[in-house]
Amino acid sequence: MKYKPLITIVLGTRPEAIKFAPLIIKLRREKSLRLKIILTGQHNEMVSQVMDLFKIKEDINFKIMQERQSLTDITLKIIANLSKEFALNKPDLLLVQGDTSTAFTASLVAFYEQVNIGHLEAGLRTSTLLNPFPEEANRRLISQISTLHFAPSKKAVENLRNSNIKENIFLTGNTVIDAMLYVAENCNSNYLQKINLSNKKIILATVHRRENWGKNLENICYGLLKIINNNPDLFLLMPVHKNKIITNPVHKILGSHPNIKLTSSLSYDHLVEVIKNCIIVLTDSGGLQEEAPSLGKPVLVLRDETERVEAIEYGTAKLVGTDREKIFITANSLLNNHYEYNLMANSINPYGKGNSSMKIIDICKSFLNIN
């Protein structure tokens, strides 16, 4: 019987699950290879929602998540579990996505075991190693030990070449566009109707990054509050992370306003529905900077720096940072200037057209000598 190469995918967080989902669906149909899906459990509950939405089932779940565990705890647990798994079932190719602790640690284990690594969303960079922390260091380190580099944009390709990586760099676009378009076309959640926000003028805001904890988060909330206070026909929908460092100040500043709806984290189908129906998105999320423009929604980035520089260059997003007055002025201008709004809403999304998964599969099959 002809040998079928084994591709192993290791993921641990919701963004990884979303961005891997369309790839997994298509890889499952490939008869010429074997596929194994491993969850680390870094974000167990949120990942399960995504897996259920896309009707994907993992093969192994390490279930490492515990309250108040450190990055070191996460890393050590993944190394211990994945080393045992690779000793029993060594893959021909490991696929990781992005810049999480799961992605970095899985790559490190694969490197030690001399397993080829394919890195999705390779080549994102900021100018500062500690911003964002630990993601910037994670992605730089993954790049240095990966075999195949799947870059989402031309700028990412350039960044990889500037990192002294000379071969196996592929411009594929980002699979998050594949995922979002799939959900937008195939899922009808009626979420906004259920929370009495259908047919309302909505802005969506999300904040979760460690760099925005504390004073930055308070400034963001006051900026959002001023937007709503100055636009009485507008409603703010804000999913709030469970972490009390985020929950407490958000509810204290925004919780009592009648035009502000604070919710728990949205399932991905609900999130896509909200993006489709909102006016603008204010976020510190990397994924939303890529996703929202595909549905024609301008993005205001609540960070001082972004690794998604193409979004800024192409005009689909603007950096506004965490200054409350700048957040208000920029958003208010966008809401009340039709020309400025349409310019952003109609800009070309630099992260692809929804065919990234097939590009990546074709490259993997070629690398593994699969006809």
Q: Hey, which residues are catalytic here?
A: 99, 121, 135, 208, 210, 241
Element (H, E) at 143: helix 135-145
Cis geometry, peptide bond prior to residue 132 (ω within 30 degrees of 0): yes
- Identify the DSSP state of 131: B
Do the Cβ atoms of 33 and 365 come closer than 8 Å?
yes
Orientation angle between helical segments 175-186 and 14-27, nearest 10 degrees? 80
DSSP string for 33-101: SEEEEEE--TTHHHHHHHHHHTT---SEE-----TT--HHHHHHHHHHHHHHHHHHS--SEEEEETT-H
CA distance 243 to 14: 16
Contacting residues for 139 by C-beta, under 8 A, at least 6 apart: 98, 99, 103, 104, 121, 122, 124, 125
DSSP string for 256-273: T-TTEEEESPPPHHHHHH
Residue 307 CA, chain-centre distance (Å), reads 12
CA distance 232 to 327: 17
- Calculate the dihedral angle through the C-alpha atoms of 263, 190, 26, 171, rounding to the nearest 10 degrees: -60
- Identify the DSSP state of 295: G
Orientation angle between helical segments 268-277 and 175-186, nearest 10 degrees? 80
Please count the other Cβ atoms lying within 10 Å of the Cβ belonging to residue 65.
16
Strand 6-11, strand 34-39: pairing: parallel
